[in-house]
Structure 1
Amino acid sequence: MTLQIDAVDRKLLRALQEDSRKSVQVLGEGVGLSASACHRRLKALEEQGLIEGYRAVLNAGKLGYSMQFFIEVGLTSQSETALEAFETAVQDIPEVLECHLMAGQSDYILRVVCQDHDDFERLHRRLSARLPGVARIHSNMSIRTVKARTGLPV
């Protein structure tokens, strides 16, 4: 269900996606609102669930994660129990940044980060051995990120 938002809400959401550290005063000025009106709109957008949270975007390379992989995972079964077991287990692997249930050749695609080749080998073994119901794994290494966007087009 898409919620109805106006042009000012859209400007406010775009501004937040660019830099959520701006003060309510600065955000309001940027969209033509007083600080109190901006604060009320932000609270309403949060209550409607349009704003789920605020996060810092970290530099993976500077934190030692120089490698990124997209890993396709096929399971031995697509039963609800098998899917739930896999999804629960993948939550406990911090290197897995994203996990998507897919329609197509693979059951899941994971986006993972690793520090080096040895780190990737350890992660690959962990995925193969510890995740329930894994039948096959196919890994693709990202050479370079061409476009990365955390925001949505609003």
Structure 2
Amino acid sequence: MVDNINNGILRCLQENARQSNTAIGKIVGISSPAVAERIRKMEDVGIIKSYRAVIAPELIGYQLKAIITIRAFMGKLKPFLENVKKWNEVVNCYRITGNENIVMEVVLRDQKHLEEFIDVIITYGESKTQIVLSQVVAHQPTVKSINYIK
């Protein structure tokens, strides 16, 4: 399903999902209708999951970013996993191996908001919070980098 042309289309979409099928077609060497058909097929099988706007949280009032790990209390992991999807502060949440069960990336308005958020999550387990000072790398894995993962 993912040949060199589809890889090229995926790279184009990752760089700018708003570019036209004509522009993508010029890059990968096929017609605009052929690009549209390939994109539709990749959407249908789930290779392309969604299109979205990536926003700058700090410009809409979320000045604080934190990484929070949780070591869930006995019987609290499943309720946590059900509720975490409802919390707007959570940008990413992963279930992980090791001493902690969960790692989350959260955005918050300020320290008071962080304190209120921690008050909610500590009912599920022991938490550790690290405040993010700056972002060093910010990108999704690209098709090119995925090809190197064995």
Aligned residue in 1 for 2:148: none
1:42-97 C-alpha deviation (Å, 9 max, x unpaired): 111111210001011111111121211110101112x6xx4321111111111011
1:95-117 C-alpha deviation (Å, 9 max, x unpaired): 01111111011010011001111
Using the TM superposition, give the Cα deviation of residue 121 of structure 1 relative to its aligned residue in structure 2, in angstroms: 1.1
Aligned residue in 1 for 2:73: 76
The TM-score, its normalising length taken from structure 2, stands at 0.89
Aligned residue in 1 for 2:28: 31
> Which amino acid in 1 is paired with 2:30?
L
Distance 1:35 1:122 in 2: 50
1:91 counterpart SS class? helix
Aligned residue in 1 for 2:125: 135
1:5 counterpart SS class? coil
Aligned residue in 2 for 1:103: 97
Distance 2:61 2:92 in 1: 18
Q: Are the counterparts in 2 of residues 65 and 116 from structure 1 also a CA contact under 8 Å? A: yes
Aligned residue in 2 for 1:152: 142
1:21 counterpart SS class? coil
Instruction: Give the counterpart of 1:62 among 38, 56, 59.
Output: 59
> Which amino acid in 1 is paired with 2:71?
G
> Which amino acid in 2 is paired with 1:125?
D
Structure 1: gaps of 5 or more residues: none
1:21-45 C-alpha deviation (Å, 9 max, x unpaired): 1111112112111111101111111
Distance 1:98 1:6 in 2: 30
Instruction: Give the counterpart of 2:88 among 79, 89, 94.
Output: 94
Instruction: Give the counterpart of 1:18 among 3, 15, 20.
Output: 15
- Which ranges of 4 or more aligned residues in structure 1 deviate by more than 6 Å? none
Aligned residues: 144
The TM-score, its normalising length taken from structure 1, stands at 0.87
2:22 counterpart SS class? helix
> Which amino acid in 2 is paired with 1:51?
I
RMSD: 1.4
1:88 counterpart SS class? helix
